[in-house]
Amino acid sequence: MQQTIDKGFYQSKVCVIDNGTGFTKMGWAGNTEPQFDIPTVVADHQEKQKVQMSKNTNENLDYYIGYEAYDYTKSHNIFYPMKSGIVENWDLMEKFWHRSIFDYLRAEPDETTFILTEPPMNPPENRENIAEIFFETFNAKGLHISVQAVLSLFSTGLTGMVLDSGDGVTHCIPVSDGYVIGSCIKHIPLAGRDITQFIQNLLKERGENIPAEDIKKVAREVKEKYGYCIGDGDLIKEFQAYDRGEKNKFKTYYGKSSVTKEKYTIDIGYERFLGPEMFFHPEFLDGKWRSPIDEIIDKSIQTSPVDCRKKLYQNIILSGGSTLFDGFAQRLEQQVQLRIDSRLQKYEVRSGFKPASIKVNVTQNPFQRYAVWQGGSLMALQPQFEKVYHTRQEYFERGPSIARYNAVFQPQY
């Protein structure tokens, strides 16, 4: 159900673009979900020197983005302009935005204000590059760049701990009154893409009859459709349940080869819980990383200012597609609560005083995958938004340095 949009909204169109390593969510502010959710990928012909281009083809426009890009793998190279949430190739990113604005959103940039998102600790030079592209190339009416974690919190107040896990990177980000506590951010180099690869390896080792060209797609669908987190975290007990052949544990995947169109079936077993278990046993994926997600969140909050720690524990927000596994919120809440209770018990034994208890609360959102985008959509509807975004006139008067600072304000409902 879409929210009511007042008359003033149409006088100032606002477009929200949430660029992620794996997927980009974009659409018009005022909606509860983005109109488009496409892979952040560009198929460009530039590196394919052996392909004979037609004389009637404009090479500058001969590129494709999103799902369409995968249809041109024979004539174009596939590029991913972002890595770990950071733009690595600005030329390709500009092309991606160009197609997004004109072909997907069909927007008139000179009449549109854009809200773009950025990861925590994004270099200020990157904000300047964004401003240059949107004001000088697209001639945008206005621009506001907001940290993804702040937008995730926007609908619940602006103080909380955000666990943002997408396709390429996972962040634990403490936010107080809308401002990121930069020194306490924890970066985890494991996310959805790693879980997909792990499940893919499990299927290969077991010798499942899956066409080579479809193995990655199958692994991704197994992760998204059948993955879940163990409620009590007892891996041995869960393995035994599968070994006993308990009902509803094993699943059957039905597929069709993308090349031969032949149908095939595979059994889905341990990978259902071993993939998501990456968050609590990261050593399954990477022997160099042994800290579970609950420990990282606890350390991040414990290094935050004392006066905001309790609020952070009481408002842990999940954001991103890799936090959607069944049972993940309950498991995380349980694990963090155990850490707090253990610490308080030790304090009581040593001091003789019983400290006040702290109740952990992990919040789920019906639109968790789009939490960042939805926060931007809500921000644009606030009356004070028109006072905080940067205008085209300001850019040409003061230069790209204006994008280094983007005001944060409290939502008013």
Whether 242 and 123 map to the same domain: the answer is: no
Task: In whole angstroms, give the CA distance from residue 150 to residue 379.
Answer: 10
Domain of residue 309, CATH code? 3.30.420.40
Domain boundary among 279, 304, 319: 279
**Does 61 reside within a domain?**
no
Are 118 and 348 a contacting pair, CB within 8 Å? no
Task: In whole angstroms, give the CA distance from residue 256 to residue 215.
Answer: 11
Structure token digits, residue 81: 């302009």
**Does 99 reside within a domain?**
yes
Task: In whole angstroms, give the CA distance from residue 49 to residue 107.
Answer: 33
Whether 122 and 91 map to the same domain: the answer is: yes
Please say whether the dihedral angle defined by the alpha carbons of residues 370, 376, 377 and 382, taken in this order, is positive or negative.
positive
Whether 399 and 345 map to the same domain: the answer is: no
- Which residue reads 């190739």 in tokens? 89
Whether 392 and 333 map to the same domain: the answer is: no
Continuous segment of H or E residues that includes residue 329: helix 328-351
Domain of residue 275, CATH code? 3.90.640.10
**Does 49 reside within a domain?**
no
**Does 256 reside within a domain?**
yes
Count of structural domains, the chain: 3
CA 19: distance to chain centroid?
A: 9
**Does 166 reside within a domain?**
no
Which structural domain, as residue segments, surrounds residue 234?
192-279
Whether 233 and 142 map to the same domain: the answer is: no
Would you report the helix, strand and coil content of the chain in percent, each value rounded to 5? 45, 20, 35
Domain boundary among 279, 308, 336: 279
**Does 157 reside within a domain?**
no
Whether 378 and 265 map to the same domain: the answer is: no
Q: What is the pTM of this model?
A: 0.85
pLDDT by residue, tens only, the chain of 413 residues: 344 444 344 335 999 999 998 899 999 998 989 999 999 999 987 654 444 443 333 455 789 999 999 888 888 899 999 988 889 999 999 999 999 999 999 999 999 999 999 988 889 999 999 999 999 999 999 999 999 989 998 877 789 999 999 888 899 999 998 889 989 999 888 889 999 999 999 999 888 888 888 898 899 999 999 999 998 888 999 999 888 888 788 999 998 888 888 899 998 999 999 999 999 998 887 777 888 999 999 999 999 999 999 999 999 999 988 999 999 999 999 999 999 999 999 999 999 898 889 999 998 877 888 999 999 999 999 888 988 999 999 999 999 999 998 887 666 54
pLDDT of res. 189: 81
**Does 349 reside within a domain?**
yes
**Does 62 reside within a domain?**
no
Task: In whole angstroms, give the CA distance from residue 153 to residue 319.
Answer: 9
Whether 217 and 331 map to the same domain: the answer is: no
Sheet containing 63-65: order of strands:
63-65, 42-44, 77-79
Task: In whole angstroms, give the CA distance from residue 164 to residue 368.
Answer: 10
Domain boundary among 279, 306, 335: 279
Task: In whole angstroms, give the CA distance from residue 173 to residue 182.
Answer: 8
Nearest to 181 by CA among 308, 18, 317, 339: 308
Whether 226 and 184 map to the same domain: the answer is: no
Whether 126 and 258 map to the same domain: the answer is: no
Whether 324 and 183 map to the same domain: the answer is: yes
pLDDT of res. 46: 61
Whether 93 and 122 map to the same domain: the answer is: yes
Whether 235 and 89 map to the same domain: the answer is: no
Pairing of strands 362-363, 316-319: parallel
